[in-house]
Structure 1
Amino acid sequence: MSDSIDYGNLMHRAMRGLIQNVLTRVAKDGLPGKHHFFITFDTMHPDVEIADWLSDRYPGEMTVVMQEWFADLHVSDDGFSVTLSFGDAPETIYIPYDSIKTFVDPSVEFGLRFETQDDSGEIDDDIPEAPMEEMVEEQTKSARGDAEVVSLDQFRKS
């Protein structure tokens, strides 16, 4: 028995379970309302399955957007596969939950950021904590290149 409770790993497992539950619902019923996801993942994770040209183009991490068009979403206990369009070319990718770095739904200002762990299991404390709006804006920029970011404040209800 361990001398302490590993809250960090327990929390990560719970947050990944939340992603699995959300994606299972989307696979069954589609995206409700204005919901859409920015999912950033480690392209070098050993269980990630993406086309060679994508891993060459994104050698460390990649952000995918699940919004208007995606197909064949299959959710499992370890990850999910989905077909997305990359420059009008459909590609099926597999993303294990363990490879996910951030999961953001900007339509409701919801986001999860996973801290990385080194081989010893120590959490990397060098990852800065960012407020939700900053994380949403960061994901929007990385997913859409140099697109203009609109502040979400103007859409909030008083």
Structure 2
Amino acid sequence: MADDHDHTSGDETFPSTSLLPYDHWLDDAYRGVMLSALEHVSREGLAGEHHFYLTFLTDFPGVDIPSRLRAQYPHEMTIVLQHQFWDLKVDRAAGTVSVGLSFGGVGSILVIPVRAITGFADPSIRFSLQFEAGEPEEDAASQVVSLDAFRRKGPSPA
């Protein structure tokens, strides 16, 4: 019979000794919640007092923002999706979120890789999620390991 009691001391990180990547799975699931909220708003608009804060790494590969914003926010930026934004799009296949915002009266489209996002919040209901910045999908998929390093040197056995 399984033991359903929690025997952790309370100061350990979850999961402490797992051989399964639960932390990555949870991060992906929470990112999915954020993407579902953004997709909903892209179709239906914001309802009531809902609004979103989206924090992302500006120096993450694939982030496409105007150079003046990158100069002003060289590492991290938080945008607010509330009253004046347009063309909010979630492209799950490409792993990006794009949105139009005005900065100093100049309209700009921002393209943000999902893995560059480190925070999402809807302050109207005191809901927030924090993420670890992930590896860019292209880099993670393009890692190739040569099997030559594991092959035996010399003549092959008969």
Q: Output the TM-score relative to the length of structure 2.
A: 0.70
Give the structure 1 partner of residue 120 of structure 2.
103
Deviation at 1:97, TM superposition (A): 1.2
Give the structure 2 partner of residue 47 of structure 1.
62
Give the structure 2 partner of residue 37 of structure 1.
52
Aligned partner letter, 1:53 = R
Q: Say what the alpha-carbon RMSD is for the aligned residues.
A: 1.5
Deviation at 1:117, TM superposition (A): 6.7
2:97, 2:132 → 1: CA distance? 20
1:84, 1:105 → 2: CA distance? 18
What secondary structure is seen at the aligned counterpart in 2 of 1:93?
strand
Contact 2:84 2:101 in 1 (8 A): yes
Give the structure 1 partner of residue 141 of structure 2.
none
What secondary structure is seen at the aligned counterpart in 1 of 2:34?
helix
Give the structure 1 partner of residue 41 of structure 2.
26
Give the structure 1 partner of residue 8 of structure 2.
none
Consecutive unaligned residues of structure 2, counting only runs of 5 or more, are 1-17, 136-158
Deviation at 1:25, TM superposition (A): 0.5
Deviation at 1:115, TM superposition (A): 3.1
Residues 117 and 74 (structure 1 numbering): CA distance in 2 closer, same or farther, change over 3 Å?
Answer: closer
Contact 1:20 1:79 in 2 (8 A): no
Aligned partner letter, 1:86 = F
Give the structure 1 partner of residue 83 of structure 2.
68
Q: Deviations over 1:7-53 (max 9, x none)?
A: 11101111111111111110100011110011110001101110111
Q: Output the TM-score relative to the length of structure 1.
A: 0.70
2:46, 2:33 → 1: CA distance? 16
1:12 aligns with 2:31: no
Structure exhibiting the larger radius of gyration computed from Cα positions:
2
Question: Sequence identity of aligned pairs in percent?
Answer: 41
What secondary structure is seen at the aligned counterpart in 2 of 1:95?
strand
Give the structure 2 partner of residue 124 of structure 1.
none
Contact 2:117 2:131 in 1 (8 A): yes
Which structure is higher in helix share?
Answer: 1
Consecutive unaligned residues of structure 1, counting only runs of 5 or more, are 119-158
Aligned partner letter, 2:121 = V
1:35, 1:92 → 2: CA distance? 22
2:120, 2:133 → 1: CA distance? 14
